[in-house]
Chain A
Amino acid sequence: MKEYIRIIVFVTILGTLTSALLVGMDLLTAERIKALAAFQVQSTVLNAYGITNFSTENVNQVFDENIETIEINDLVFFVDSSSGAVSFEFVGNGVWGPIEGVLTLESDFTTIRSIAILQQEETPGLGGVIEEPAYLAKYEGAQIAPSIRILRNANPDDPNEVDAITGGTRTSERFEIILNEAYSVHRAAWDERMRD
């Protein structure tokens, strides 16, 4: 009996101390992590419009000067004041974990201006190629409407087709689904706003 009481006391103390360590660590870092995530989104959007003269201190100001943030049905759109191009975030399931990124479309809402990946957990060296700018450059100028197809041996004359990742077939399949789903959802909301 005495032994069990000792175990319970030990486990309680251990649990309290380790939880305290983690709560303390969270208090120390949570705000920084949140700020870094917001900075990542803002800097990605700004980079998509070729605006690079900002730092962590003045990013909010530069962002507000150049980008108009529009919220429609809980979906957030970032519109470039000068060109009318539109960016929005997308997220979906990749092979090993979520793929998050920012899709930027020209003002016609169908031509892809750029894609940037914020977070992915694909196989390094295979599906992980998805975040490399050299691969994402293939999407520039492609048409996402009515839908985009990511294929092996894509036809370079067809604006709806983009090359898949060599050795990353399943990542490419998932990415196609993520892009098309994000596009149709955002397109519906965008069209609704245009009608109003």
Chain B
Amino acid sequence: MKLIRLKYTKWYNISKDGLSKNNPIVVAVLGICSALAITNKVDNAIAMGIGVTFVIMASSATVSLIRRFIPSKVRMVTYMVIISSFVIAFQMFIDAFFPAIAAALGPYLGLIITNCIVMGRAEAFAVKNPVRYTLVDGFANGLGYMYVIVSISAVRELLAFGTILNYQILPDSFPTWTVMAIAPGGFFVLGLFIWLIRDVTKNYEFS
């Protein structure tokens, strides 16, 4: 009984949208550039997922907070300024207090600015909804992004290096696939993954 009632709550539907029904990568096909670039190692994918989740939540909440004051003509610029500020502040914070993580992430931290999911959520959701729902939405979309890139990176890292999270899984005699470590490998795995998920969830597009 409780489960049925759960299905009608707003936050449940928002989470479901972000995680599966409108998953940013698999269904909306947003944020592909970073999904291709950083998915050759699982640890990079996890760190990127956490960073993107934080930035979506923080920027969406801010946009939602000031949504009544944003003039519609400059709203895109406003999102951009807010997102960049959060990313740069986050980068400075990581550089100063967690130098090991900063070294592992390298240039990708700054590239969160270019992730279209962040801008997409600000325009599609945050500017029309109260702060508490934007936080749920940001978290769900961040997780939706994260589990897809982590799954892709697990396949790529296993085939390209024979490891997962830098632990040796496959025997040394396994011929590693260099193509999986570079961008074309990302395209293959991402394409297969989108096909698989859309087939399982019966999400078809007809023209």
Contact of B95 among A33, A97, A124 (CB under 8 A): A33
Expressed in whole angstroms, the Cα–Cα distance for A121 and B103 within the complex equals 10
Expressed in whole angstroms, the Cα–Cα distance for A36 and B103 within the complex equals 12
Expressed in whole angstroms, the Cα–Cα distance for A187 and B69 within the complex equals 62
Chain B residue, CB-CB nearest to A17: B85
Which of A20-28, A63-71, A102-110, A154-162 forms contacts with chain B? A20-28
B88 touches A7 (CB 8 A): no
Expressed in whole angstroms, the Cα–Cα distance for A10 and B107 within the complex equals 32
A121 touches B107 (CB 8 A): yes
Chain A residue, CB-CB nearest to B179: A167
Chain A residue, CB-CB nearest to B178: A167
Chain A residue, CB-CB nearest to B157: A125
A123 touches B182 (CB 8 A): yes
Q: Mark B60-102, 1 if CB is under 8 A from A, else 0.
A: 0000000001110110011001100100110011011101000
Q: Mark B173-202, 1 if CB is under 8 A from A, else 0.
A: 000001001100000000000000000000
Residue B171 interfacial (CB < 8 Å): no
Residue B121 interfacial (CB < 8 Å): no
Q: Mark A27-38, 1 if CB is under 8 A from B, else 0.
A: 011001100100
- Most chain B beta carbons < 10 A, residue from A28, A32, A124: A124
B85 touches A125 (CB 8 A): no
B44 touches A124 (CB 8 A): yes
Residue B160 interfacial (CB < 8 Å): yes
- A125 / chain B contacts, CB cutoff of 8 Å: 40-41, 160-161, 181
- B74 / chain A contacts, CB cutoff of 8 Å: 7, 10-11
Chain B residue, CB-CB nearest to A15: B81
User: B interface, how many residues as a size bin?
Assistant: 20 to 34
Interface of B is mostly: helix
Expressed in whole angstroms, the Cα–Cα distance for A32 and B94 within the complex equals 11
B78 touches A14 (CB 8 A): yes
- A36 / chain B contacts, CB cutoff of 8 Å: 95-96, 99
A124 touches B41 (CB 8 A): yes
Expressed in whole angstroms, the Cα–Cα distance for A22 and B88 within the complex equals 8
Expressed in whole angstroms, the Cα–Cα distance for A36 and B99 within the complex equals 8
- A121 / chain B contacts, CB cutoff of 8 Å: 106-107
Interface of A is mostly: helix
- A96 / chain B contacts, CB cutoff of 8 Å: 107
A22 touches B89 (CB 8 A): yes
Distance between A185 CB and nearest chain B CB, rounded to angstroms? 27
Residues facing B in A103-144 (CB within 8 A) are 119-121, 123-126
Chain B residue, CB-CB nearest to A10: B71
A32 touches B97 (CB 8 A): yes
Expressed in whole angstroms, the Cα–Cα distance for A15 and B81 within the complex equals 8
- A29 / chain B contacts, CB cutoff of 8 Å: 92-93, 95-97
Contact of B81 among A18, A26, A32, A33 (CB under 8 A): A18
Distance between B156 CB and nearest chain A CB, rounded to angstroms? 9
- A57 / chain B contacts, CB cutoff of 8 Å: none
- A124 / chain B contacts, CB cutoff of 8 Å: 38, 40-41, 44, 106
- A123 / chain B contacts, CB cutoff of 8 Å: 181-182
- B82 / chain A contacts, CB cutoff of 8 Å: 14, 18
- A interface with B by C-beta (< 8 Å): 3, 6-7, 10-11, 14-15, 18, 21-22, 25-26, 28-29, 32-33, 36, 40, 96-97, 119-121, 123-126, 166-167
